[in-house]
Structure 1
Amino acid sequence: MKPEVKQGGLFEIRRQIMWNRLLAVVEEQAQTLLRTAFSTIVRESGDLSAGVFDLQGRMLAQAVTGTPGHVNSMAESVGHFLKAFPVDSMKDGDVYCTNDPWMGTGHLNDLVVVTPSFHNGTLVGLFASTSHLMDIGGIGTVPDGTDVFMEGLSVPFMKLFDTGALNETLMAIFKANTRTPVDTEGDIYSLVNCNAIGTRRLSEMMREFGLENLEDLGQHILESSRAAVLTAIQELPKGSWTNSMTIDGYDEPVTLTATTTIAEPGITVDFAGSSPAARKGINCPMSYAKAYAIFGLTCAVAPRIPNNAGSLSLFDVVAPEGSIVNALKPSPVASRHIVGQMLPDVVFGCLHQAIPERVPAEGTSCLYLMTFRGREGGSNGAFATSIVTNGGVGARPGKDGLSATAYPSGVKGTPIEIVETTTPLMFWKKELRPGSGGEGQWRGGNGLDIEIENISPSPVELLAAFDRIEHAPRGRDEGRDGASGYIGIRDSDRTMAGKGVQVIQPGEVIQLRTPGGGGIGNPKLRDKTAEQRDVENDLVIR
């Protein structure tokens, strides 16, 4: 073991290098998952998370690749794994998993896999990863269910591998409860494999730096990150601010209300006043609500500080039990992203009253996730796929909003070529929707205009889970609202519902228009050069 001199600048530099190496380890872990996954929503869009944890279940580092909903809920999930599988019971070659929405990442389609990491025969940490399984049985990722038992296969905390031996029974259950058994099995193995890569690279790193454990390095990471966030909070104005936002909901509009309190010890978001849990599956478990609310705080307060248990420790989120942002089991939660991904906008509405120079206007926010299912066209006859797209992001103080960008989720759009190669769907149009971004001194980002035909000889199901159709993203400070969304059948009077399973007949063409982001500031104050550029780039209607 190499001797360490625990003083002076060289030691600090050495610790920073080790921290950066740990970040590189988890990024390779995530890239392994990205490149080996079977489902397009993971492989092409990056709907995943990866991270390394200490033996107390505290996240030390997360990969940049991935979504905040997965990452921040996974950060809490590992603690639940440790209650089911205590550290002293773990053996080299063990792998654990669950898709419990309340102890995982929010709905049954996300599988969390945890692997203990050993170095020289000693347990030194835990690697965790999460990805979206395309189909887990039940009714699918659509908010039509009335309880979680309708929504698919539920897997409690279980051993997927026991000292290297696959739990064949559990894998058989997975494969028997999905419409896409090949993809599901492949995605599970990709999760296991990415954790294995993480454990291997961590051991190599520890050998290189002469480390026997991660205790000192982990403590440095957590304390440094916490101190940096605390400094950022101390520079903010203190007080409490309340904001409410209305979205479409399922049967009726939903109100999301938050009170954000900035104090010396930290920041708390309280969702008291939000609507009660819905009858259908747009409800949000607390873990997922907390993940996105905290992400909103992080973006505004401490965007450049690494995300780990230390930096997260100064943020707290509470909500009344039984509310739509703290839905209790067995509430249906399949489309929890609809509510969860709106929460940064709700938090920004609070922070706008305290630090208006740091927060954007409202955007589309929740993914416009088009999930299709059919009996013909896939590798084994049937197919199921999710096409990721989104609308415009709200304008930012001093900058226009981004067009067709998935914020806050951060996932990438699904390439048209991949969809047309693997499914009986044909894209006739996918282009920016001019003028959909709200006008302002700073203009909101534009949404998309998309047309997709069912070229199969059989009907295809669309599992719709869209919002902002009845309630458009709002502008700020005299900025205009963004355009609302729309879905219907081209060349007909048929307008489709924003949520629920709907049938697309052979030859029918779906027309989907995604919302635009809200603007900031009076449109009369917009720079004339920017106005001319908008016209030249066809971003506005002439």
Structure 2
Amino acid sequence: MTEAFDPITLEIYWNRLISAADEAATGLLRTAFSTIVRESNDFATVLMDRRGESVAENTGGLASFSCILPRTTKAFLEKFPLETWKPGDTVITNDPWIATGHLPDFTVVTGIFHRGRLVGFAGSISHSPDIGGSLWAADCREIFEEGIRIPITHLLREGQWNEAMLEILLGNVRVPRQVLGDLQAQVVANEVGARRIAEFLDDTGLDDLEGLSAALQERTDRAMRRAIAELPDGTYAAEIGADGFDAQKTLIACTVTVRGDTMQIDYTGTSPQIDRGINCPMNYTHAYSVYPVKCALDPFTPRNEGSYRAITVTAPERSILNPLYPAPVSARQLTGHLLAGAIYKALAPVMPEKIIAECGGAPTMRALFSGARADGDSFSQVLFASGGMGAAPHKDGMAATAFPTNVGAGSIEAYESVAPITVWKKRLRQDSGGAGRFRGGLGQEVELEIRTTTPARLSLLSDRHEHPASGILGGEAGGPSVVRFADGSKPHPKSRTTVPPGARLTLLYAGGGGYGPPRERDRDAVRADLADGYISPGAARDTYGLE
């Protein structure tokens, strides 16, 4: 039985908790060392109750991280039961099968104490600038090549840092100062969240978060079930092909079953796991299955643990969506980001007004450069940029915007300040948005130059070269991804490449798919696209039929 809160009080309390999570996120942003956090938003902060169930998430964090963090916290509690936690304890892991699906993400959780009692947990996840091993790469054959794996362990014990663990970790990464700085920022974020929860309990007179947590989760569960119940019962299926790795093409088979106010998403028929790093552990598969459903069916209710109770997700063991240890998983997003498109494609016949076409930014294309600066210091830097979103039922897709992830691109000036790389060009890519009644979002063109004195390393994590984002309900596919050097040669789309000093590289990010038949597009909208340079005269004439 949940504790009774009147609706107004519940709304006020919930908004204050979300504000506390946002303040924790601000603490992380302002103290982090890497541009991955400060510029590209690759993190999340979550406040949880004693059971490890989420109560509030920061509004701008990665939804996949926010969905996974409570699952990881429950794993922490299996190893360190509630009665063993003391004030100042902070626990960490980056185990892909316990946490976010690959090694570069650190999950850090701190106990929240109030009047001497453990009342909850403040958690954060952040993508580290380096994790050792092969760099962030897709071409490894087992996880041992991909970097150092930290099992569930104490990062701080009663406020004291675990120096032995830090010494091992920092001795295995290329940019230890940035790695340590970001970890310290995560601890700061958790401490901010913990302080705000203690203040909240003092101000409200509540003894703990249990009754409030149950009430909030009941509210979000009810909202999602109400939305699912509006769909007709039935089983809906779709398949999506992906580039895979060389000859090993991959397929995602998705079956969505709606029964009353529940939904089951099953991936039976999906390709088996492969010996390359595009396998996607189950935590990540679950997160990027339930989050797109939340976006489509219940976009306005804030998220917490209750948002996903009505949805179950299953995938066969040893498939690319449920690989077994020690499978390589470093580029798991190249598979996981495709799930939203598969789910929406399956549900398009019964909820066409609530889904979008496939996104060119799903999966995101990442280029990681590493090497030595002129002064001999090491650098390791990821270029964050996005393709176009898929078109929606009532509007064009957004250009150069990722979905289902919401990682940003960040400032090019900040990027250039921390890496010996010059970005010569960054502009929208004409004709890359899939044609339709509503046009897919445009991808972008990025041209950069390596300004090192010795060869650098490029690790490319990309897809959509052979399988561009498809349109939906008569819409056309967006433009494919292309990566090439100035001499016309192309690096492997999912492998590491040695890049000579002075080399120039052009990356063409994929466009989103279109929605509806192109000839039904508003004529004034076609003329505006032509005037803005979003489409060429040939596309206006031949594809849209503009006279």
TM range (shorter): over 0.9
5 Å matches for 1:86-485?
Answer: 86-251=81-246, 252-364=248-360, 365-376=362-373, 381-485=377-481
1-side partners of 2:526 and 2:100: how far apart?
43
For residues 263-295 of structure 1, the C-alpha deviation after alignment (integer angstroms, 9 at most, x for no partner) is 114111000011001111010000001100111
2-side partners of 1:311 and 1:355: how far apart?
19
2-side partners of 1:162 and 1:75: how far apart?
21
Name structure 2 gaps, 5 residues minimum: 538-547
Name structure 1 gaps, 5 residues minimum: 1-5
2-side partners of 1:49 and 1:419: how far apart?
21
Q: Is the 8 A contact 2:374 2:453 kept in 1?
A: no
Counterpart residue type for residue 131 of structure 1: S
Equivalent in the alignment of 1:33:
28
How far 1:377 sits from its partner (Å)? 5.1
Equivalent residue in structure 2 for 1:489, among 471, 485, 500: 485
Q: Is the 8 A contact 1:140 1:334 kept in 2?
A: no
RMSD over aligned CA atoms reads: 1.3
SS at match of 1:412: coil
2-side partners of 1:447 and 1:185: how far apart?
34
SS at match of 2:373: strand
1-side partners of 2:7 and 2:528: how far apart?
48
For residues 369-407 of structure 1, the C-alpha deviation after alignment (integer angstroms, 9 at most, x for no partner) is 1111012258x7110011111111111101111110011
For residues 307-327 of structure 1, the C-alpha deviation after alignment (integer angstroms, 9 at most, x for no partner) is 111111111110000000001
Q: Is the 8 A contact 2:238 2:343 kept in 1?
A: yes
How far 1:414 sits from its partner (Å)? 2.7
SS at match of 1:204: helix
Equivalent in the alignment of 1:82:
77
TM (norm. structure 1) is 0.96
Matched, 1:539 2:534: yes
Q: Is the 8 A contact 1:377 1:383 kept in 2?
A: no
Give structure 1 regions of 4+ aligned residues with deviation exceeding 6 angstroms. none
2-side partners of 1:164 and 1:518: how far apart?
50
Counterpart residue type for residue 175 of structure 1: L
How far 1:526 sits from its partner (Å)? 0.7
1-side partners of 2:473 and 2:311: how far apart?
27
2-side partners of 1:481 and 1:475: how far apart?
5
Aligned-pair identity in percent equals 37
Equivalent residue in structure 1 for 2:497, among 489, 497, 502: 502
For residues 289-344 of structure 1, the C-alpha deviation after alignment (integer angstroms, 9 at most, x for no partner) is 11001111111111112211111111111000000000111000000110011111
Counterpart residue type for residue 12 of structure 1: P
2-side partners of 1:382 and 1:497: how far apart?
24
Equivalent in the alignment of 1:3:
none
SS at match of 1:118: strand
SS at match of 1:367: coil
Counterpart residue type for residue 227 of structure 2: A
Q: Is the 8 A contact 2:256 2:347 kept in 1?
A: yes
SS at match of 2:244: coil
SS at match of 2:287: helix
How far 1:447 sits from its partner (Å)? 0.4
Equivalent in the alignment of 2:52:
57
Matched, 1:523 2:518: yes
How far 1:138 sits from its partner (Å)? 0.5
Q: Is the 8 A contact 1:145 1:281 kept in 2?
A: yes
For residues 117-151 of structure 1, the C-alpha deviation after alignment (integer angstroms, 9 at most, x for no partner) is 00111111111110011111100210121111111
Counterpart residue type for residue 509 of structure 2: T
SS at match of 1:189: helix
SS at match of 1:27: helix
How far 1:178 sits from its partner (Å)? 0.4
For residues 57-114 of structure 1, the C-alpha deviation after alignment (integer angstroms, 9 at most, x for no partner) is 1111111121122121223111101101100111001110011100011111111001
1-side partners of 2:455 and 2:536: how far apart?
36
2-side partners of 1:229 and 1:218: how far apart?
17
Q: 1:336 to 1:377 in 2, by over 3 A?
A: farther
2-side partners of 1:303 and 1:377: how far apart?
49
Equivalent in the alignment of 1:48:
43
2-side partners of 1:381 and 1:307: how far apart?
42
